[in-house]
Structure formats: C-alpha cells, structure tokens
Amino acid sequence: MSGAAVRRTLVVVAALAVSLLAGCGVRPSGVITGGPAPQAPGEKVQLYLLSHAMLTPVVRPLTAVPTPTQALEQLAAGPDGDELAQGYTTEVPRDVAPVVVTIRSSSVTVKLSSDPAGLSAAAVGQIVCTVGEVVVTAGQQARPAVTLIGQGHSRGPLACPLPQ
C-alpha cells in the first residue's frame, strides 16, 4: 500500500473512532429515578396512597407475606415518615380499622369499623386497590370485586380504578 493510501485509511479509521466516541447522537440527561427496587415476593406490601390527589402505588418492605387485613391496617395508619417527606397523603381515616376481610372465589368483602358511606371517592379507591393488590399478589385469584360494609351500609362491588 502506498503512503497516500495508508494516510487515507488512517484518516477514515480516525473519523470512525471519533464518531463512535461521540455517542452517536445520544444526548446527556439528568438523573432519572425509578421506583423502589424490586424485592422478593412476600417481602413487601403495596399500598395505594395519594400523590397530587391521584391514587399511587407505594411499596413498603415487610418481613412476611401480609394479609389483606394487615395491609388495610397499615393503610389506615397513613403514610410513614419517608412517604410524608415525598408528599404522599391519604384520605383513609384511622377509624376504618380494625377491619375484617372475607375472600370468596371472585369477590372480597371488607368489613370496616366505620360507615363506608362517609368515605371519599379517593379513600374508597385506596382501600379497594390496596386489598385487591394483596389478594392478587398472594396468588389467591384475579383482581377481585370489593364490597365495603360497615354500620349497616355498604358500597360496591367495586373494582380498582387504575388500569392494570
């Protein structure tokens, strides 16, 4: 190969190297945060809290598989310190607990300590989505229809309003 051909080859190789090292048009961006890290089944509970008045799933670590009753009692306790710092809120009043959850083949009945007729739409959504998620996670059935009962009143059957 002549000296000119070698120089041309080196120029082409250098140009290709520069274009590859330039990132092929990928532009830098800021840090993109995701949700919480995935955990093994049975070591978490997914509660539905409110973020900017929208139902939002929030994962809490646990040491054992939660029952629907335990999940709803945690929901009634409201956001923890970290969740509050991130702006999560709840409309579920503390007096809905204790609860009794009865699971049937395609439905779930949640007996509240308070009247479900007095709950806001957001609070009902939080309860329905939380109990539905626990039932599905436990592998007991597909997302169930949930009926809330208490003090002689009922609401439902209801489905979680979030697309799944």
Q: Tens digit of pLDDT for each residue in 41-92? A: 447 888 999 999 899 999 988 777 788 888 898 899 999 999 999 999 999 9
In a domain, 147, yes or no: yes
In a domain, 23, yes or no: no
* Domains identified in the chain, total number: 1
In a domain, 134, yes or no: yes
In a domain, 152, yes or no: yes
In a domain, 132, yes or no: yes
Residue 163 has pLDDT above 50, yes or no: no
pTM more than 0.75: no
In a domain, 150, yes or no: yes
- Give the other-Cβ count within 10 Å of 131's Cβ: 26
CB 99 within 8 A of CB 72: yes
Q: What is the pLDDT of residues 85-116, one digit of tens each?
A: 999 999 999 988 888 998 887 789 999 999 99
Eight-class DSSP state of 117: G
In a domain, 67, yes or no: yes
Question: Which stretch of DSSP H or E encloses residue 51?
Answer: strand 44-51
Domain that residue 83 falls in: 44-158
Q: List Cβ neighbours of 36 (8 Å cut-off, separation of 6 or more).
A: 59
User: For residue 43, which phi and psi values (nearest 5 degrees)?
Assistant: -110, 20
Is the Cα torsion angle 75, 79, 83, 88 positive or negative in sign? positive
